[in-house]
Every structure is written in C-alpha cells, then in structure tokens.
A and B are shown apart, each in its own frame.
Chain A
Amino acid sequence: MSDVKMLGLTIDGRTVHAAEGTNVLKAAELAGISIPHFCYHPAIEAEGNCRMCLVEIEGLPKLDLACSTIVREGMIVRTSTPAVLQARKDVLEFLLAEHPLDCPICDKAGECKLQEYYERHGLFPGRFVEAKEKKDKKVAIGKGLLLDRERCILCTRCVRFLRKVTGTGELGVFDRGVRAEIGIYDGAPVDNNYSGNLVDICPVGAITDTDFRFRTRAWFLKKGPTVCPLCSRGCAVVVESVTGYPLGKDERKVFRIRAGENPAVNGAWICDLGRAGRRDIDERRHMRVMNNAAPEEELSWQRALADVTARIRAVPGPARSARIAVVLNSRLTCEELALAKRLFDDRLGLNKIFFADPKPGAADGFLLTEERMPNARGVFQSGFLPILPDLDTLAAAEVVLVFGSHLLEYFSEEAISRALAGTPSKFLFSAHAGPLDRSAEIVFPVAVPAEKSGTYINIDGLRQSFGRAVEPSPGVVPELDIFMSLANGLGLNRGEPDAC
C-alpha cells in the first residue's frame, strides 16, 4: 500500500484522496458520491459509450466522463451542476425514447439501472411520439440466455465481458445507428462456463436467464452472501431466496445464485457451475428423518440420533476402532471437521475414518478448479487423511456412519448395498435423496453449505468464513449439530472419561 501514490482532489466541495490511476467515478464513490453509469463496470475497461457519467471538471470546456477520466492532483470535479443534471436527463430521455417500457413484465424491474436512474435523475414527461423501432425480443444467444433487443441500451458490457474476461468473444454489435444490435455470430452461440455473468452485468432487462425468467420479482428476494462449495476456488456468491411464507410442493426457495465480489478470489464473476448450485439447495432434498424400517413414522433427528449413540455405546471400547467406520467428506466446514476429529479420532479412537468426495473434473483455466470440493485444505489442517474406504472394510464394521453420498461415484449402488447387507447399524447423513438411501437404516437430512455458517480454506490456502445465506429447510440439521449431539450423548464433550 505504501507504494501507491495518493492524490488529493475536490469533488462537490469534498476533499477526496484517491490512489493514482483511480478514475473520477471511483474517487467520487470514496467520498460517498454516486455518479450514475450504465456501460462502465469496474472489472472491464471503460468504453464511455452510455454518456451517463458526464461530470464537470474545472478547466475543461465540455463535460467529461467520470469513468474514463483519471484523477489528478488538485482536480476539481462537480457532479451536480445544472449542466450535469441536464446531461443525465438527456441521456435518460434518449434511452427511454426507444425503450419498450415493459417494466411490469420485465425480470429486471426492481434492480434495473434505467428504472433506478429515471427515478433519481429523470422524472420528466415523455416527449417521444414517433413509432418505436421493432426488434427481436426473444433471441436465444446460448446457454439458456435470452436477449431482448428492444430493452437493450447497447452499453456493450456483455460484448466487452466476453472479449476481455472470458476471451471467447461470442457476442458482437451488428448494424449501426438506431438499428445497432447485439448478437451472436452465425451458428456460434454463447458457450462458455461464465455465461451467467452476462445476466448479472446487464444493467437493464436485455439479457435474462430462462432459469429465472418470470419466476419471481427481484424485490421478494433475500440476498445471502456465502462461499460457493462446488469447487476449491471458494468464490463469493450471493444466494437469493424467498422467505416469509411456506412453500408448496416443488416450489422454489432459492431463485438464483449470483456472483459476489471478492477481489482476492473471483473478482466479480462466478462460473455457471456455481450458479447452477441453486438446484443443490432446492432440489431432491431430504426434509425429514427416514427410518427405512418404518418409512411413514415421524421421527425427530434427536431421537434418531439417540439411537445412533446407543449403537456406538454398545460397541465395547477396545473393539471400536475395528467395528465402527465413519465416512466423511470435504464439504464439511473447518468447524465441523475439528469437532469430528475430536469425536471420532481423539475420543472414540476410531481408525476407520474415511472420506468420499466428488471426483475431480476438468479445470477451466479461469476460476473453476479440478477439485470439486470446497475444503480439501481444511481436511488436512484438521489432521485427517482423506482416504477412500474399500467396501470390505466397511462391510467388516458393525456401525457405519456415512456423511454425504459420494461413495456412489466410486462404487455401484449394488456393490455398496451388498457390502452393507450384513451390517447391523448403518446410518446415512445426506442432504439429497439418492440411491444410497435404500442401503441405510436411518437417513438424516443434513444442511447444504448455504444453510450453514462456517469456514472453508480454498485452493490458495485462503481461509474464508461465511454466514448462513438461506434459512435451512425445515427438518434439516447441520452436521455440526449432529457431531455435538453425538459428543453430548457419548459424554465426550466436556473431556469426561469415556462413558462407555
């Protein structure tokens, strides 16, 4: 930091100190002054096409762009003079002239820059009485994205994102003047793992996602920041969910996952895999404890867990290390892993502690890593060695606790079922319904990471703590509570001597 030269300037009479190379728009933000803008995005080079951020800079004959003007020592900037306010109004009037004004059916309504700025800087009666340009309103540009060319204000954030950030360049501007429009090149739709960011950065409702389109309104959504659990990058994400009323069958809780900002990890982008993690939170979820022997029976997780505790207690101390097996996973938080370590290793002295994790996938060279679990480093730091179990070892145990369903990535359902056929006590702790459920005696519905708070350590060793991003589904329980409950039941939590 000490190498960065700080420059002093005045914006609307306030003294601001900004690092050399900062643009006027950012410097104004430091002073708490927001300058409206459509085309500028902090993570993409300025192009200056929307003309919304024009401000007065002393010594210059004309208004100049706040987005592309770099601060100088002693610069005097004014952002709310009559000329600036008029220029903003004029830009809004131009944009709204040809805009379809279909806010009532537009997904962006409520979080649209054009709406927001009209409220704040416009509020003029319309003077456009000519016929509006007719343009395509549902252009499939690839990966479930739809482009509405009438809503588009040609800020070209999407075009520049694909050129500068992903380098894939699928979108371009075609034709010119008022007929200019965004489009894909012949037969080459948007096809990269970061396509969802186009929806995030579109300042209006021009690019929408069929997964979100027409499902809800932006103002109903509660935004919960968390860390993406789907690979070891640990990108900041925002989970947007509805709360406040009970959901019907198949109704969504989480409507979308969007990129959060974290300059140290993902900047302002997330991959499509992380975005699709929405389904992980909503779909195929276990909502209640299920005893396979009596599927209809209502069973609280505390009562069911008391049964698990009793089975563990029933195994004599010296025999435990051979007769109890636990399968953990690297989606557990550092806090959960630390407790699991104390419980299963230090106190119960188990030596059959295994891990079953998603198999590696291909890294995409940008954010997505090969490791498809968020906390492999947390596993090591907790003192575990992530070893995959073999089925014979599991079969030899009397009590088997399996956390997660990733065993299925290594063994067939039949093989697992056969191996556990003779096991007297087998418990599954899983967030999602799946084939493994049938092999277990009792299935516990556990929380997904977005429903938990905790800490993950990412691929670069960065330790990131996060809070609960969405209300847990009714009936689910975080693994932390399970471990604590087991520890309590086994009398291990207070450092008491072995209760068994």
Chain B
Amino acid sequence: MIEDAVRLIPADDSSWRLEAYLRRGGYEAARKAVTSMVPQDVIAEVRRAGLRGRGGAGFPAGLKWSFVPQGGTAPKYLCVNADEGEPGTFKDRAILVRNPHQLLEGLIIAAFGVGIGQAFIYVRGEYASIAGRLEEALAEACAKGFLGRGIFGSDFNLEVVVHFGAGAYICGEETALLESVEGRRGQPRLKPPFPAVVGLFRSPTVINNVETLSNIPSIIGRGADWFIARGLPKDGGTRIFGVSGAVRRPGLYELPVGTPLRAIIETHAGGPPDGLAIKAVVPGGLSAPVLRPDELDVPMDFDSLARAGSMLGSAGVIVIGDRTPILDVLEVMARFYAHESCGQCTPCRLGTSWIHKIVSRMAAGKGQRGDLDLILDLASGMRGRTLCPMGDAAAMPIHAIISKFRNELERTVVP
C-alpha cells in the first residue's frame, strides 16, 4: 500500500488545502529546486527517473523538456493539459479536486527547469464546475509567494493562468490545445515544427499532463532512484488506474507501473459482479485496442502493452461484461470518434463518419455481408495517414474490436 504522504490522490477530502499539503511536506521539492539546483540538473533528474507522459502517448517527460532551446530572448510557455477527454479516464479530475497543490508544485519545478515564466492550465470545459479548488489553490500559492515574482526569494518568476476549454476531445491533442489557448478553433497543427520549438504564440512550449506534473515533486524531493523503484527503470513511478465498467469496485487505484492488468481488475477492483464474466477489457482509455479475457496477464506499463498490441494510454481500464453485446461497444466507439473528429483532415473526418454510419445501420439490424471488411478497410485508410494522432486513436480500437470479436459481430450482422 502506498503511504498517504506520497499519494497522488490522498484519501482525505480536506487534503487539497495548502496547510494539508504543507503538512505532507508540500513545496519543499520546489523550494529545493529553485533555491539549490541548476535548471539542467532538474531536467537531468526527471530524465533519469524515467517519467513517461501520463496523458496517453507516454513520451519521456524529461526528454520533452530537453527539446526546448535553452536561453534566447523569446518567451517560453508551459501548458498543463487538464483536458482529460479520453473516455474511461477520470484521474486528472481527482488530482484537481484532491491535490491541486501538488500539480502546482510540479508546474513550478518544470517551469524552473525549462526556464519558463508563464504557464497556462488548460482545463476542459466540463470540469469548470470542479475547478474552484484549483483556482483557490492557485490563489493560496500566490499569496504564499510560491508563484508570482521572486519565488522562494530567488529571481525566478512564474505566472499561472487557468484557461477553460469548450468541450472538444480534440483539444486534448497538444497542438489543438495550443490553438484553443490562443483563442482559435481547436484543431491540430501540422508538425513539424513541434511545440518545444514553435508552440504557444509561436514560442517554445512544453505541454504536460496533470498527472505527469504531479509526479515531479516526488522525483525532485526523493530522487530519481526512489521514483524508479516504485515502477520500472524505463517507466518509473506509479500510475493512477481508473477502473470502470463491469467490476465490483470501480474507481481510481494508484499502483506501481507494471502491475498486471488482471490484478488491477480482480484484486483491486474486485472483479466482475456476481453473474457476470469479463468479455473484453480496454486497458488504457477508449483508444487503446481491446484485450480479450485471455490477454489480461499483461503488466501495465507502456512497453508491455505495446508488445501486447495495445497501449497503456491514459490507464483508464474499461471492463466489459459478457452481457454487453460487442456491437454496442463498437457503436459507442464509432459514435464517439465521429462526433469528436475535428473535421480538419480527410481520412479522419470522413472515415470516422462513414464507419459510424455503417455501424449504426448494423445496430439497426440492417447489417450486410462485407460491412466488417469495409470497416477494416476504412480503418486502414485512416491509420497513419491523418494530420494528428486521432486518426490512429479511432482506427486502432475499431480494428481491434472487429478482429477480436468478429464471430460475435458476424452473428449479429447476418443472423
């Protein structure tokens, strides 16, 4: 069991207050970094810790920071991605509500390490109602001098602005997020250039997920070795697994990276309720290709899941019970991506909608022979061909559902 002092989501509901966070040793890591470390050492320590991005792509956080050109007179920006939109994912919400100061502390350290004076926290519009604590925490931190000018008596300044999105999944994609912060329609930018070089307002920008930044204080405070020991060498620390669906105890479980999926479902979430068996598991948010019940003995880390043909993604585990028709799952999936495609590039705009039209027809009992193969063709027409990762995010899980549950789907389509 993880001791409360280092939990990303403390059990106590009053834990979000500054006093409570200070009692847990809060802001000591930031003080240490700002007053006693040089920025390069901060980056080096985070690189060594093997912290991989918790938003979904799993890109090593320290490496991402190191891509930002050092020095220069142009402003640099940090954007916190709190646009938690991946279906089955609800971990960042808990951090925002239970532990906003740890996010702010991680943000301070990251900004200090990269040499950033201005940060934006991009909160999805749907979280506006729960963002009050974040904003209060921000005010508390400013009042204490942890943010603002001359932080911890140094010459390091950092201003933080909370910015709300308006409810588009695509704004979780980092360049669409930048467009949205700049006040434009949220749609991805063509890359390269990458945000580390040309990002917000055409300046070098780091974009990190809420959970990613919330891990930084421990890495700096307790060291990279401590962090690695809690996970794996190339994928350090813990993950907050959000388990939903056909389990007895759905919820968030902070566990070491590499914990087997079966253990998360069976031991922690209590397994399926009586009378239900597991039919399928989505291991890392809706875009992660589905696993069959015989594929659940996989360690939950980025590399192991990639080898298993899926991805750890946002670590949102969706358990699908055997009474749920797989066509329903496919329909929800197809509807979601068709609804959320920003429409900018051809394969995603027209592929997601075409697939959704076919699946809706199938769900209405008008499936035809050949529908499934056509969907697979359309999915390959999207995969690797779109402007942003959403094409893959839509194509991969749809492809997996059809290949792994083809028999059931064919029975549905052609009775």
- Seen from chain A, the residues whose Cβ lies within 8 Å of a Cβ on chain B are 46-52, 54, 62-63, 65, 68, 87, 90-91, 93-95, 97-98, 127-131, 133, 153-154, 172-173, 175-180
B residues in contact with A128, CB < 8 Å: 354
B residues in contact with A62, CB < 8 Å: 384-385
- Beta-carbon contact of A95 and B343 below 8 Å: no
Q: Report Cα–Cα, A402/B350, bound state, in Å.
A: 63
Known contacts A94-B354, A97-B354; is A54 also within 8 Å of B349 by CB? no
B residues in contact with A54, CB < 8 Å: 385
Given contacts A51-B346, A63-B384, A180-B343, 12 further A-B contacts (CB under 8 A): A48-B345, A49-B344, A49-B346, A54-B385, A65-B190, A91-B381, A94-B351, A95-B346, A98-B350, A153-B346, A177-B341, A177-B343
- Beta-carbon contact of A91 and B346 below 8 Å: yes
A residues in contact with B386, CB < 8 Å: 51
- Seen from chain B, the residues whose Cβ lies within 8 Å of a Cβ on chain A are 168, 170, 185, 187, 190, 338-347, 349-354, 357-358, 361, 368, 374, 378, 380-381, 384-387
Known contacts A48-B387, A51-B386, A172-B185; is A177 also within 8 Å of B353 by CB? yes
Most buried by A among B190, B338, B386: B190
Q: Could you give 11 example pairs across A and B, Cβ below 8 Å?
A: A46-B190, A50-B345, A50-B346, A51-B347, A91-B346, A94-B347, A130-B354, A130-B358, A153-B346, A176-B340, A177-B352
Q: Majority SS of interface residues in chain A?
A: loop
- Beta-carbon contact of B190 and A93 below 8 Å: no
- Beta-carbon contact of A178 and B384 below 8 Å: no
- Beta-carbon contact of B342 and A63 below 8 Å: no
A50, A93, A95, A177: the one contacting B342 at CB < 8 Å is A177
- Beta-carbon contact of B381 and A178 below 8 Å: no
B residues in contact with A50, CB < 8 Å: 345-346
Q: Report Cα–Cα, A490/B206, bound state, in Å.
A: 82
Residue of A nearest to B386 (CB): A51
Q: Count CB-based A-B contacts (< 8 Å).
A: 97
Q: Report Cα–Cα, A144/B347, bound state, in Å.
A: 32
Q: Report Cα–Cα, A108/B234, bound state, in Å.
A: 56
Closest chain-A Cβ to B373's Cβ sits at a distance in Å of 10
B residues in contact with A93, CB < 8 Å: 381
Known contacts A94-B381, A176-B168, A177-B353; is A68 also within 8 Å of B347 by CB? no
A residues in contact with B346, CB < 8 Å: 49-52, 91, 94-95, 153-154
Closest chain-B Cβ to A184's Cβ sits at a distance in Å of 15
B185, B343, B350, B380: the one contacting A94 at CB < 8 Å is B350
- Beta-carbon contact of B339 and A51 below 8 Å: no
Q: Report Cα–Cα, A94/B368, bound state, in Å.
A: 20
Residue of B nearest to A50 (CB): B346
Q: Report Cα–Cα, A154/B341, bound state, in Å.
A: 14
- Beta-carbon contact of B358 and A95 below 8 Å: no
Residue of B nearest to A90 (CB): B381
A residues in contact with B353, CB < 8 Å: 98, 133, 177-178
Known contacts A87-B385, A94-B351, A154-B349; is A176 also within 8 Å of B357 by CB? no
